[in-house]
Amino acid sequence: MHKRFTIFLYGVVCYAVFFVTFLYALGFVGNFLVPVTLDGPARLPTGQALLIDVLLLGAFALQHSVMARPFFKRWLTRFIPESAERSTYVLFSSLALIALFTHWQPLGGIAWDAQHAALRAVLYTAFGFGWLLVLVATFLINHFDLFGLRQVWLQLRERPYHPLRFGTPGPYRLVRHPLYLGWLVAFWATPTMTGTHLLFAFMTTAYILVAIQLEEQDLVDALGDDYRRYRDRVPMIIPWSREQAAKRPLRDTPRRIRKLSTRQGAGAPQQCVDTPPSHT
């Protein structure tokens, strides 16, 4: 019982670290309420600041992608309980972001600066919508499983973990990766696009596009033709961007099909909304 409770407590602490990091990220990107933000006066020579920022973003991308791959999960669970694997991923992702927040170097410069009040309001609204879409998407694919709480809760109760079933709830019928779409909107929707913000938005966009390819290969390996049919029918990230997506609605998509054999990354559909965990 002591071991199970320790694992559960570890998962809760990892989630708490994530939650605080998520809230800080909102202020960091939006430039409000937090001591260190994305923009600000340059403190270092441009070349040195640029190198630091690129390394920080690259380190986050490397950690986030490598630890999400099935081969790394198999290796990691040789040393830690399988129920703690997702929480460990969440913890290290949060630590990588905290390192980025604390060492980030503004570059200065302005790419655009919207002066009209109505346009600024639209961009701020889009910024808020992007963050809201991210949050909603996590709950649609089971927020508590995605961030490791369901796994540690089930092991505390000595109940077996069953991977969530593939499904296409809500916006997953319009795009395959609404969570990533939310990030893109949040990162690009700003009334004042500084050189620093532009670098951040460009590099995170490049990472997201690469991460989607890796993630979708994992999903094809796990789900086979079920995911291939879904991929053929639904656009990746831009709604209504495919003719077949408009012509072939998802009414015939099975709600209960093959279970995922491994946990995937953060952006893809992972479960049916009619199979919630018992503790939620």
pLDDT tens digits for 261-272? 334 445 555 443
Q: Assess whether pLDDT exceeds 90 at residue 243.
A: no
Give the tokens for residue 149. 């709480």
Ramachandran angles phi, psi of 267, nearest 5°: -105, -15
Phi, psi for residue 210 in degrees, rounded to 5: -70, -45
**Distance in Å from the first CA to the final CA of the chain:** 22
What are the tens digits of pLDDT across the range 136-151?
999 998 899 999 999 9
247 or 236, which is more confident: 236
Taking Cα atoms as reference points, which of 36, 241, 274 lies closest to residue 168? 274
Say whether pLDDT at 51 is over 70.
Answer: yes
Q: What is the mean pLDDT of the chain?
A: 86
Section 173-186 average pLDDT:
95
Q: Which of 144-148, 186-190, 253-257 has the lowest mean pLDDT?
A: 253-257
Task: Answer left, alpha or beta for residue 224, where phi above 0 means left and psi between -120 and 50 means alpha.
Answer: left
Residue 41: pLDDT band (50, 70, 90) is confident
CA 264, CA 219: separation in Å to the nearest integer?
7
Nearest to 4 by CA among 159, 155, 145, 160: 155
In the prediction, which pLDDT does 42 show?
A: 86
pLDDT at 28 over 90: yes
Instruction: Using pLDDT thresholds of 50, 70 and 90, give the confidence band for residue 14.
Output: very high
Distance (Å, whole) CA 160 – CA 171: 30
Distances in Å between the alpha carbon of 162 and those of 146, 166, 231? 13, 12, 24
pLDDT at 223: 82
- 260 pLDDT more than 50: no
- pLDDT for res 280: 34
Give the C-alpha separation, 164 to 273, whole Å.
Answer: 10
Measured CA to CA, the distance from residue 14 to residue 90 in angstroms comes to 7
* Degrees, nearest 5: CA angle 125-130-134: 145
pLDDT of residue 195 exceeding 50 = yes
Give the span between the Cα atoms of 121 and 177, in whole angstroms. 26
